[in-house]
């Protein structure tokens, strides 16, 4: 039997996370250490620390709000514009065959973010669903997060 090591996941599994909401970042602009590709006064775009696939992004409003209905029209427009921009950039640089986009509202929507609205942009590649996920309950991410960050950051800051 082969063993896949992913020690970076232990903090997620054991709940050893930073206090507060990780989407409520104080700084604006890119930040490699926190995987932030883009931010302005309305939205934040970052790599997902626990991705389903290479290039898996999170897009959120800067304000800590629970739902689309709580967002202002300018925030909803900015979220959708960044989702469109993200798929264009990922398509050009990562060359996926498609995308899954999902809006999470509330903790039971599937994530660990309780009350901060966010959109998942997950690139899909041919062959990305394989036996490892189905039988081994393990995901294989083929590129280090910082290598992906370094590929994408210049495009998000054009």
Catalytically active residues, by annotation: 118
Q: Which residues contact 150 (CB under 8 A, 6 or more apart)?
A: 32
Q: Which residues contact 37 (CB under 8 A, 6 or more apart)?
A: 30, 45, 46, 47, 57, 149, 152, 153, 156, 157
**Which DSSP string do the residues of 84-141 spell out, in sequence order?**
HHHHHHHHHHH--SEEEEEEE-SGGGSSS-SS--EEEEEEE-TT-S-HHHHHH-----
């Amino acid at each position: 039997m082969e063993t896949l090591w992913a020690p970076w996941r232990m903090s997620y599994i054991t709940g050893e996370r930073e206090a507060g909401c990780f989407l409520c970042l104080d700084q604006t602009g890119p930040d490699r250490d926190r995987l932030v590709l883009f931010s302005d006064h309305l939205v934040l775009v970052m790599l997902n620390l626990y991705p389903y696939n290479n290039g898996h992004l999170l897009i959120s409003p800067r304000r800590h709000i629970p739902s689309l209905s709580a967002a202002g029209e300018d925030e909803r427009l900015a979220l959708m514009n960044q989702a469109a921009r993200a798929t264009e950039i990922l398509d050009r640089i990562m060359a996926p065959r498609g995308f899954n986009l999902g809006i999470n509202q509330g903790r039971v929507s599937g994530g660990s973010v309780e009350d901060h609205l966010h959109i998942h942009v997950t690139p899909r590649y041919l062959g990305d669903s394989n036996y490892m996920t189905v039988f081994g309950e393990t995901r294989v991410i083929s590129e280090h997060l910082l290598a992906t960050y370094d590929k994408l950051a210049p495009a998000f800051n054009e």
